[in-house]
Structure 1
Amino acid sequence: MKKGTRLFKIRYIIFGFLGVALLASLVFMRFGGFGTGETANVEEFAEYAQPVENLFIPEDKKIIALGEATHGNVEFQQLKLEVFKQIVEQYDVRAFALEGDYGGCEQVNQYIHGGEGTAQEAAAAIGFAIYRTDEMAELISYMREYNESALEGEDIRFYGFDMQRISYTSQSLLEACTELKIDTTNLQKLVEGENLSGEYDFSAQTEVLTQVKNELENNSASNTTIHYVNMLLQYCELQSITESDGSALRDKFMAENVQWILQQEQQDGHERIFVTGHNSHVAKWGSFDSMGKLLSKQIENGYYVIGTDFYRTENNMPSGTSGKRANQVFYSYDPLAKASKMAGFDICWLDFSSIPDNSELYKSISQYTYMGTLGERYSWIMRILPPSYRMFQPPAVLYDSMIFVSDATPTIIVTE
């Protein structure tokens, strides 16, 4: 290689490196870099922050949603139980709706109404590894114990509003059709475990399922049974589109399913339901039409959402293409979460409606803020580009209130 050519390549590499460094610097300036970021007014935060047991929900709210900043932390799963207990006791809520497989969650519903098995087995039926934890088993055990002494019509019901897993949904639909003496020949050919048979395209899948739905309706099948078909139709449509369009469609379907759950509960005399899922799904605003964004428009003032964030998390999440789970440490860069930490709170609740408009803290909840948001995927890119695990939005636009966890600890998956 000639000397001039070698020098040119070296200069090319150097300039390329400098270009990447400059781009990274600009990104960090826009979205926050390494470290823990700025802090909201600690004294004001401490004045308005309250224990989670002081949680208050306005009377006109029909859907009460709790978000989680991560799927892999003990505290966010424990909050599901703590918050749900309060709204069962204080707000006449008897429905728990989870970001989980509808058919699998129906298995949980049967268990909490006296079904066989264990709470751990019921949690495993939900269909996602994130729920195979002691914390979820404790939540399910509480529901079963509550139902053992509940008056008729006052029992707790467990719902799922996701459509990404179909094995229990398919199985339950086949059983219901058999009981009603509906021909399941085409349905059995269509359904194969977690997938739908590759010999059918989307239009053919839809035709088979629509025919089954019509027969169920003609046979006066229950709303639950007919909803099994609707979930399979959603699954088929979700699988038929590109991945880039999948998030918006999935959230659209989840919003429809939550509306269906609310209708079922209202028919039974209960006006409110409890919904829980990732922050990105329950938030009232975002870059796309999330479930929460759609519900907040459809229910008008009837949607209330509690967001969550961490100051520091050691989060259990799958790594790389292997999917092997490991604990990863992150900081949210959230000024409010940092103020909570510096004020000495392990966990606290901040009601945005209680904060005066002329306060410094009001500015903190109203301006664009860096908040932690971790899903079910880890990549080394998160280490060099912190914005990849942060949300940049005004907290008060996304949520009605927030719960902050200073140091979130990792869940332990009971079985794989």
Structure 2
Amino acid sequence: MCLLFFGGFTTGKSLDVNEFKAYAKSVDEISTPQEYNIIALGEVTHGNKEFQQLKLEVFKKLVEEHRVHSFALEGDFGGCEEVNQYIHGGEGTLKEIVQKIGFQIYKTEEMMQLIEYMREYNDDAEEEQLNFYGFDMQRIRYSFDALKKECVAEGVDLSFLDNFIIDGQWNQNYSYEEKKDLLMKLKKTLELKEFNGDLIHFVDVLLQNIEVLHRKDTDGSLLRDQYMAENVSWILQKEQQRGNDCIFISGHNEHVAKWGSYDSMGKLLSNQYRYYVIGTNFYKTRCNLPEGNHKRTIQTFYSHDPLAKTAKLAGFKMCWIDFSSLEEGTEIERHADAYTYMGTLGESYSIMNRFLPPSYRMFQPPTTLYDSMIYVSNASPTKIIE
């Protein structure tokens, strides 16, 4: 019964093709209202070229039409600061820089192209330059390195943190309480010396990492979304101080979505800011996924999404649907408002994905989660750069 509920192994039903064509637009035609503080782009998988390419396509459009000057990624906070230094003329190669974002999924040609665009833009910019941020806290190496470098330069004694982190990992000789107490001691020292918020936030990110690792299963996942929302809020406030009232962020669909029943990053941000989110989905994906032992595999899945299937039948390789444009009573509007099958693949794979459609699909109303969606008919796998 569970398999049938999640659509089984078929490709699903479709809607009226002509009606769909009347609302479908190209990605070049994406328009978002000017009054939003945060514009988010989701990716239904981490292992497809098209969803990584969309980051650059949508960001370019926002830079040109909305004067957005910052890009924030579901990537390591400290590692993305290394990227930010690079796009402002820092040393290194593109291949070296993408390695620092903290996750294998970003070691791709598509991410290199995004970073290269930002560096070239800044090289030519006469006024406001672009900035690159990360809002995840699952890695600690680069955040700690940046913190240590700045503290040493400012004459802050960090001898009490000797051997605190070894090879980018917490020293296991320190307990959860000891790690937290030492970082809180450092944070208090920095606050008393009135250091800038950037330096103190590196401490906050390290504290976030400790807390997430300390929690188990669902609690850790919920806390991670909460902390990502806090980090995005910090990024927005930093950009607003520079005179920029809107930022662009990108992460997995499940994080950026405005869930009704789950306190995702997107839901938390939408409760606090003027938040616009573009979701993505595939009709068919050949997705690059990890399968253990540092190996990856290419696996094929169908989302069973009637909107994605209709996009395929209508002849679109990729198209955008603005849910606010759908006329009441139309078939497409009814399906967008109703519980609908959609794909969802993270950075994991097991043999159970072949037998359990619920492991790579969700059943939610698209308009509850997103303001609009981009549909890709045939998503192709990324190639990881070693």
TM-score interval (norm. to shorter): over 0.9
2:77 alignment counterpart: 102
Identity fraction in percent: 55
CA contact (8 A) 2:260 2:368 kept: no
2:109 corresponds to:
134
Q: Which amino acid aligns with 2:348?
A: R
Query: What's the TM-score, normalizing by structure 1?
Result: 0.91
Partner-residue secondary structure (3-state), 1:125: helix
Aligned counterparts of 1:316 and 1:221: Cα–Cα separation in 2: 43
Identify the match of residue 57 of structure 1 among 23, 29, 32. Answer: 32
Distance in 1 between residues matched to 2:242 and 2:86, nearest whole Å: 20
What is the TM-score normalised by the length of structure 2?
0.98
Q: Give, in angstroms, the shift of residue 358 of structure 1.
A: 1.6
Residue aligning to 1:368: 339
Distance 2:19 2:37 in 1: 31
Q: Is there any run of 5+ residues in structure 1 with no aligned partner, and where?
A: 1-25
Are 1:130 and 1:413, in contact at CA under 8 Å, matched by a contact in 2?
Answer: yes
Superposed displacement of residue 151, structure 1: 2.5
Letter paired with 1:360 = E
Aligned pairs (5 A) from 1:228-243: 228-243=202-217
Residue 114 of structure 1: aligned partner: 89
1:128-167 map, 5 Å: 128-152=103-127, 154-167=128-141
* Structure 2 partner of 1:173: 147
Once the two structures are TM-superposed, the CA of residue 348 in structure 1 deviates from its matched residue by: 0.6
Q: Determine whether 1:256 maps to 2:242.
A: no
Structural mapping, 1:295-310, within 5 Å: 295-299=269-273, 302-310=274-282
Q: Residue 334 of structure 1 is aligned with which of 289, 297, 305?
A: 305
> Between Structure 1 and Structure 2, whose CA radius of gyration is higher?
1
Amino acid at match of 1:373: T
Give, in angstroms, the shift of residue 31 of structure 1: 1.6
Equivalences, count: 386
Counterpart CA distance in 1 for 2:77 and 2:257 is 21
Partner of 1:17: none
CA distance in 2, matches of 1:377, 1:161: 21
Give yes or no for contact 1:166–1:193 (8 Å, CA) kept in 2. no
In the TM superposition, what are the counterparts of 1:167-246 in structure 2 within 5 Å?
A: 167-246=141-220
Deviation at 1:287, TM superposition (A): 4.3
Would the aligned equivalents of 1:296 and 1:303 in 2 still touch at CA under 8 Å?
A: yes
Q: Where does residue 316 of structure 1 map in the other structure?
A: 288
Q: Which moved more, 1:261-270 or 1:115-124?
A: 115-124
Deviates more, 1:64-73 or 1:119-128: 119-128
Is residue 307–residue 403 contact of structure 1 (8 Å, CA) maintained in 2?
yes
1:387 equivalent in alignment to 2:358: yes
SS at match of 1:207: helix
Unaligned runs of 5+ in 2: none
The structure 1 segments of at least 4 consecutive aligned residues displaced by more than 6 Å after TM superposition are none
| Secondary structure of residue in 2 paired with 1:220 | coil
1:325-358, CA deviations, whole angstroms, 9 ceiling, x for partnerless residues? 1111111100000000000000110000000012
Within 1, Cα distance between the matches of 2:27 and 2:300? 25
- 3-state SS of 1:276 partner: strand
- Residue aligned with 1:50, SS: coil
Q: How far apart, CA to CA, are the structure 1 residues paired with 2:218 and 2:371?
A: 29
In structure 2, the residue matched to 1:71 is 46
Given residue 38 of structure 1, which amino acid in structure 2 is its aligned partner? K
Distance 1:393 1:127 in 2: 30
CA contact (8 A) 1:180 1:219 kept: no
1:134: how far off? Answer: 0.5
CA contact (8 A) 1:174 1:188 kept: no
| 1:280–1:28 CA distance, 2 compared to 1 (3 A) | same
What CA deviation, in whole Å up to 9, does each residue of 1:176-222 have, x standing for no partner? 11111111112233222332122222222111111111222233322
Q: SS in structure 1 opposite 2:263?
A: coil
In structure 2, the partner of 1:19 is: none
Deviation of the 1:286 alpha carbon: 5.2
- Letter of the 1:234 counterpart: Q
Which amino acid in the other structure matches residue 248 of structure 1?
L
Q: Measure, in 2, the Cα distance between the counterparts of 1:409 and 1:376.
A: 16
Contact 1:74–1:411 (CA<8 Å) still a contact in 2? yes
Give the Cα separation in 2 of the matches to 1:231 and 1:367.
38
Per mean C-alpha deviation after superposition, the further-off stretch among 374-383 and 192-201 is 192-201
| 1:387-406 correspondence to structure 2 within 5 Å | 387-406=358-377
